[in-house]
Amino acid sequence: MSERLRIALTKGRLQDKSVELFEAMGLDCSPVRNPGRRLIHALPNYPLDVVLAKAPDVITYVEHGVCDLGVVGKDTILEKGGAFYEVLDLGFGRCRFALAVKKGSDFYGTYKTRRIASKYPNVTRTFFEGKGMDVDIIKIEGSVELAPILDLSDGIVDIVETGATLKENGLEPIEDVAQVSARLIVNTASMKLYKNEITDFLSRVERELGGRA
Ligand code: PRP
């Protein structure tokens, strides 16, 4: 008998794109489309239960093996790390991490230690360590663009999608830090225990993604 798999989806935009992908694969996602306040949904025509969670929690659930699979952004993977298999780039949720500063400011033109504000302190640390540059990192929870405007920081490392938020706040990207997109991750034990079920699911995803290319 085929084992039911459990997948954690990142709530919000990645959830919507994942549901579109699963429906294109022929999975009936009506329970996820009409979730009410429920956070876990059994799909009626495929042995898959869908859990809706915040991005870092998707990794936590997959790492602990309470979810076999997860859909999460590469941004969260780079920031949080963890032990799991990152098996597929799903091709949606594309954006980039960039270093941005006040328009026209000369970020590299001084010897003083720069202050960088970010929701992603680990990504920021790794980026500047790679340059051999010592920076002070200030963790901000959202609307990071405020930090340089308020003169809290010399720059930010943040997600840029259209660039509109930077532009409307008088900031400009000066360097790319990393490319980001949604990834499919798999618990390491599940990969062995439910090899057939996971292989079936992955090959359906790959077939659909291949058809889009
Ligand atoms: C993200 C990111 C930027 C914005 C980039 O913020 O932190 O602020 O989107 O998008 P754009 O390049 O298309 O303008 P989000 O909307 O997630 O809110 P937050 O800043 O409160 O985290």
Q: How confident is the model at residue 110 (pLDDT cuts 50, 70, 90)?
A: confident
Tens digits of per-residue pLDDT, 141-158? 999 999 999 999 999 999
Q: How many CB atoms lie within 10 A of CB 185?
A: 23
196 lines ligand 1 (CB under 6 A): no
Mean pLDDT of 183-209: 97
Nearest residue by C-alpha to atom 19 in ligand 1:
142
Mean pLDDT of 45-66: 97
Find the 158 Cα to ligand 1 centroid distance in Å: 8
Nearest residue by C-alpha to atom 10 in ligand 1:
161
User: What predicted TM-score, i.e. pTM, was given to this entire model?
Assistant: 0.94
Per-residue pLDDT at 1 exceeds 80: no
Q: How does the average pLDDT of the chain come out, rounded?
A: 96
169 lines ligand 1 (CB under 6 A): no
168 lines ligand 1 (CB under 6 A): no
Find the 142 Cα to ligand 1 centroid distance in Å: 8
Residue 213 is predicted with a pLDDT of 67
Measured over the CA atoms of residue 123, residue 128, residue 132 and residue 133, the dihedral's sign is negative
187 touches 62 (CB < 8 A): yes
Higher pLDDT, 150 or 111: 150
Residue 195 is predicted with a pLDDT of 97
Residue 212 is predicted with a pLDDT of 75
Residue 111 is predicted with a pLDDT of 86
Cα–Cα distance measured from residue 45 to residue 149, given in angstroms and rounded to the nearest whole number: 51
